[in-house]
Structure 1
Amino acid sequence: MIEAELKARVHTPEAVMRQLDARATARVEVYRDTYYDRPDGSLEKADQELRVRTVHGADSTRTVLTFKGAAVDQESGSKPEHETRVQDAEAAHAILRGLGHVPVIAFEKRCRNYEFEAYGRRMLATLVRVPEIDGTFLEVETLVDEADLAAALEDVRAALADLGIGPEDLTRETYTGAVAAQRR
């Protein structure tokens, strides 16, 4: 599946949050992400990502292992995504290190997730704050087959526009890149 996703900087987060709260129930979670690469950096060079994410919510904690392939749409950065839950976070980290991968960067994301239907699609909107980065971001995504990517991205753009987010607010800036820049 392809994660058809667009990300934007949000200039009025409270207003966007009110609109999303009217549309769906928020799930407040803290993500602890660790990104891995091979020692030669070949995953990053190939525009691929390997991540262990532990999600702490109000009622539970879960860990997911994610591999994202290279972007299939350069404008949006949308990528094929393969994800699975893992029972033991420490074991997942140990397996990746045992296979020769090295942790490249780890950071925290504070998220407010909203699942809803728009334009005939299941969508996930996430308001994101990363303590090391200024500002609030909004990600809106839907999972699709590659053949449906262009239409799905148009629907995601429309959902963003419904929230007052225009094309000028979109960004391809990555959290990993922004956090790394802050730490330099």
Structure 2
Amino acid sequence: MIEAELKARVHAPQDVIRNLDQYGPGHVETYHDTYYDDADGSLTARDAELRTRTVSSPHDTRFVLTYKGATIDADSGSKPEHETRVTDPDAVHAMLTGLGYRPAIAFEKRCRNYEFDARGRKMQATLAFLPELDATFLELETLIRDDGDVQEALSDVRAVLHDLGIKDPDLTKERYSEAVAASRG
């Protein structure tokens, strides 16, 4: 699958929440993300990402393993994404380190997630607050099967972002992992 996604810095989170609530109720989750790479940084060098995520909500905790390939759309940073739930995060960590990967960076995101249909597509919106950056972002994505549909999908995502009050100058390709690493010096 390809994640056709746009991300924006949010300056008025309460306004965005009000607009998102028109699509339906959101649910609060906390993400604890750990990004892995090998000693040579070969994943980063080829623009790939390997991540484990613990997702905690008031009702549930789940674990997810994600691999993202190299960017296929330079303007948005959209990437192929493969994700699966895991039942034993300690075993996944042992497998990854056994294969030569090491945790490169870990951080927390406090999220409010929405799933809805818009412009004929299933969309997921994540309003993410990163405490280390003291910054809020909005990620809006739709999954597509064929990279030939990326531009049309991104056009639909951009239109929904505009409906939510997000302006083009607020869009960013900034990666959380890089921003957190930079803030840590």
Deviation of residue 64 (structure 1)? 0.6
**What is the aligned-residue identity percentage?**
63
TM-score (norm 1): 0.98
Structure 2 residue aligned with 1:44: 44
TM-score (norm 2): 0.98
Structure 1 residue aligned with 2:117: 117
Structure 1 residue aligned with 2:96: 96
Tell me which stretches of 4 or more aligned residues in structure 1 moved more than 2 Å: none
CA offset digits 1:84-106 (Å, max 9, x no partner):
11111111111101111011000
Q: Secondary structure at the match of 1:147?
A: helix
Deviation of residue 134 (structure 1)? 2.5
Structure 2 residue aligned with 1:55: 55
CA offset digits 1:135-179 (Å, max 9, x no partner):
210000000021211100000000000011111110011110110
Structure 1 residue aligned with 2:152: 151
Amino acid in the other structure paired with 2:46: A
Write the distance in 2 (CA, Å) between the matches of 1:78 and 1:182.
Answer: 24
Amino acid in the other structure paired with 2:138: L
Structure 2 residue aligned with 1:5: 5
Write the distance in 2 (CA, Å) between the matches of 1:14 and 1:163.
Answer: 11
CA offset digits 1:106-154 (Å, max 9, x no partner):
0001000000111000000110001101321000000002121110000
Q: Give 1:8-47 correspondences, 5 Å limit.
A: 8-47=8-47
Amino acid in the other structure paired with 2:4: A
Deviation of residue 22 (structure 1)? 2.2
Write the distance in 2 (CA, Å) between the matches of 1:134 and 1:158.
Answer: 27
Write the distance in 2 (CA, Å) between the matches of 1:27 and 1:14.
Answer: 15
Unaligned runs of 5+ in 1: none
Amino acid in the other structure paired with 2:119: Y
Q: Give 1:104-183 correspondences, 5 Å limit.
A: 104-144=104-144, 145-183=146-184
Write the distance in 2 (CA, Å) between the matches of 1:18 and 1:166.
Answer: 16
Amino acid in the other structure paired with 1:54: T
